[in-house]
Amino acid sequence: MKTRATLTLRAPLAGWCAPLDEAPDEVFAGRLLGDGVAIDPTAGTLHAPCDGEVVLLAPTRHAVTLRSAACDVLLHVGIDTVALGGEGFTAHVTQGTQVRAGDELLSFDLDLLARRARSLLTPVIVTAESGCSIRSRRLDSAVAVGEWLMELEAADPLTTGSDSSAAAAPLVRRLTVTFEHGIHARPAALLAASLRALAADVRLIARGRAANARSTIALMALSVRAGEQVELRATGPDAQHALEALTAVFASHAGGAALVGSAIAGLAEAPAAVSSPRVAPPAAPAAAPSDTAQRVLRGVTASPGLAVGRALQLRRAEIEIREEGGGVAAEHAALERARTEVRTRLERRAASTSAEGGAAAAGIAAAHRELLDDPELLAAARAAIEAGGSAGFAWRGAVRANAATLGALEDARLRERVDDLLDLETQVLHALGGEAVAGTAGVPADAILIARELLPSQLIALDDARPAGIAMAAGGATSHAAILAAAMGIPTVVALGNEVLSVPDGRELVLDASRAVLEIAPGEARLAAVRAEAATRAARRAALATAAQRECRTADGTRIEVLANVGSVAEAQAAMRNGAEGCGLLRTEFLFLDRQTPPTEAEQTRAYQGIADVLGERPLTIRTLDAGGDKPIAYLPMPREENPALGLRGIRTSLAWPQLLRTQLRAALMVRGSCRLLLPMVSDAAEIDAARVVLDEIRRELGRAAPTPLGVMIETPAAAVLAERMAAAADFLSIGTNDLTQYTLAMDRGHPQLAARLDALHPAVLRLIASVAEGARAHGRHAAVCGGLASEPAAAALLVGLGVHELSAVPAVIPELKARIAQVSLGECRALAAQALALPSAAAVRTLLAALPAAAGVCT
């Protein structure tokens, strides 16, 4: 019997050796890349575990793949370290270097990674393509560099496959890479894993180079970046299924369809939801390769759009403070005066929704006001003053201690709240010094602001100045500064890396925020082309906005109402400018959250009336409080729930606290205008009947003869299945596709590893939408969609074909929604719906929609 060859791997790092299962990443722990171990390092140098060739060195220098005579070994330093963009890593080898066991491969800043990486745990992987098996391995013990780690057994020689030259012509599909950092280790593993059960030969081609799509190493070696186009070529019995499987992986990592030509144009684009880097002390700007070098930096979209301008660096100077106080009483008084000044300014901003940034700026100011009065923050600051510190020293220490705590959390959105704390630090310190908050007034109109991270207060302080764009070295797409920039309509890219901080003032730039790229010194021809494109987009947007003022009809005259989802007067005003035919969903939670007592009837009536006044005679659909789940209410003694998504939510909460419901219904009935009411998270007709009893009692108390239309949100499979019975009890139905998708697919939309797979275009969800429309028709009711799917212009014709005759969307997409609907007939919509319902997956439906022509005049 022939004995297969063995290979010994030595420890590439000093540290603690653990099972691969402990890696906090499903790709590594699930062994999609291959089997191995994980090392928690205690030193910052990675060594070769065996003799071999460096076949892959990641562009960001965080991972190395060695090829020995028997197998390929992937060494991946830390988890999510690709997001650092190479910061903290130094390579000692290049691709193609021959190394001996123990040679240094790369060094890394252990302290920096500990602060900013998701985990330091370093997988040592014997790649799946190698065919090697692990005979024994070291686990649960300390290990030094060069000590025995694993013993491998080489695979038997592989037999060759059939002659590909005899294969049929390949099926071809072009895609845009939607993975945030391109095709690195984890995306490559997901792509390869999607093909395991399929009989097909698939090649991925990028920039003229091809790779076997079943090989993670080959895919990584292409160094494909986010936003690049690739071509897939598949042959074999399962070629079509292989293309669909790969398309689904791409689509699951995009905000929408990944296919070329399917991206929602300018007005419809939405920021990507991504993790921002963790907080770290500001790094020195990287040295520029050349002042005049043409180059491209890639980041993350925070606010889409296209801009041409000149660089203007904004750097926050550290505010000087004295450490020792001038007396405990005096320092306490100084801190209170500063906080009062800042609170007054924030209250003015929170009460205003007409200024630049509208509701977003007001909401952010309200959040800052809450932080200003945070009891833990105040207690820490006051204790430091009692210990003899100055008010400024005490405030800065308290803020930065809390910021460090937030910065260490796994939740990206919580980490991004660090900027709010630092912003509040700046505002109070300026008030202590008797200075105005340093803003960005006087910014030229063609400026592209560059900063490590902009604070919300800096954007609010723009006043009438409006930059062409914003480019940040760090930050995240869901930070408050990013949200505010999006509300102001300023193209913004974040997480560009420190190299952007070296761009000199005045350098000409192109910021294509929709593609998340910053082009430095692009050349006159490129500048002229982009200026022309920007002008064309502006003209198209203007044309769409003008056309959107007309009522919406299909090409053959079928009336489709297009309304808006709003949450403030400013959003209602934006909806009217964009051609909304009313409000299909008023989110009333803004009145109930982030406070210690419920809003009064008078307070609610004023808020609702303000929005009704903007709408005039157009319908205003007031959704009752949608609390519980991911929207807890501080003043409600709600029980702790193991699964809040399945507990007291929506109408269940209102019926559990009937006085809240009575107050809200009374406030709504006091509004002058065309109002209707909408109940959230209804699961059976008994809940509708209970709410109607309360509504009728209040109507009689107020002496109102005319009934107010009462509708229900269809957000659960139960409600969708019972749609006909719901329609008998309610006056209209409105489908919330976000929750309906979550409950239908049994995937928590807040789960970081599942959220990207939630797609309302899943055929199961589409079938439920069609069922709801049919149930509504049986009783002469109309069915609307007010969930996220209504804001996808590409899906508009499909929804109409399923029987939906009202869409309620975010204001910005309304012009394109109307344009899309106007170019198709009802018959074409129904034919499209029939095709979609017969497809096997959401990815296949998106492929179908991607083939549809964009609306005339829509920017793509």
- Neighbouring-strand partners of residue 172: 233
Start-to-end CA distance of the chain, whole Å, equals: 64
- Rounded CA-CA distance 188/667 in Å is 55
- Rounded CA-CA distance 117/109 in Å is 11
| 271 φ, ψ (degrees, to nearest 5) | -60, 145
Residues whose CB is less than 8 angstroms from the CB of residue 376 and which lie 6 or more positions away in sequence, other chains included? 402
Beta-carbon count within 10 A of 802 CB: 27
Collapsed DSSP state (helix, strand, coil) of residue 230: strand
- Rounded CA-CA distance 557/551 in Å is 11
- Rounded CA-CA distance 763/803 in Å is 15
- Rounded CA-CA distance 790/563 in Å is 10
Torsion of CA 296, 297, 302, 306, to 10 degrees: -20
Give the closest residue to 486 by CA, choosing from 507, 470, 505, 463: 470
Q: Is 85 left (phi over 0), alpha (psi -120 to 50) or beta?
A: left
Give the closest residue to 501 by CA, choosing from 275, 315, 278, 319: 315
Kind plus residue range of the DSSP H or E element containing 611: helix 601-615
Kind plus residue range of the DSSP H or E element containing 45: strand 45-47
Q: How many residues does the chain have?
A: 860
CB of 586 closer than 8 Å to CB of 604: no
| 450 φ, ψ (degrees, to nearest 5) | -120, 130
Residues whose CB is less than 8 angstroms from the CB of residue 174 and which lie 6 or more positions away in sequence, other chains included? 229, 230, 231, 232, 259, 260
786 as an active site residue: the answer is yes
Question: One of 480, 552, 583, 675 is an active-site residue; which one?
Answer: 480
Task: For helices 842-850 and 826-837, give the axis angle rounded to 10 degrees.
Answer: 150
**Residue with the two structure tokens 């020195």:** 284
- Rounded CA-CA distance 359/280 in Å is 30
Q: What letter would DSSP give residue 131? A: -
- Rounded CA-CA distance 568/588 in Å is 9
Chain centroid to CA 457: how far?
23
CB of 246 closer than 8 Å to CB of 206: no
- Rounded CA-CA distance 644/628 in Å is 7
Count CA within 13 A, CB hemisphere, residue 737: 28
∠ Cα 133 136 140 (to 5°): 125
Question: One of 71, 786, 829, 859 is an active-site residue; which one?
Answer: 786
CB of 808 closer than 8 Å to CB of 585: yes
Q: What letter would DSSP give residue 318? A: P
71 as an active site residue: the answer is no
**Is the torsion defined by CA of 546, 550, 552, 556 positive or negative?**
negative
**Is the torsion defined by CA of 11, 17, 22, 24 positive or negative?**
negative
Give the closest residue to 731 by CA, choosing from 667, 682, 770, 698: 682
Three-class DSSP labels, 187-228: HHHHHHHCCCCCCCEEEEEECCEEEECCCHHHHHHCCCCCCC
Positions annotated as catalytic residues are 480, 786
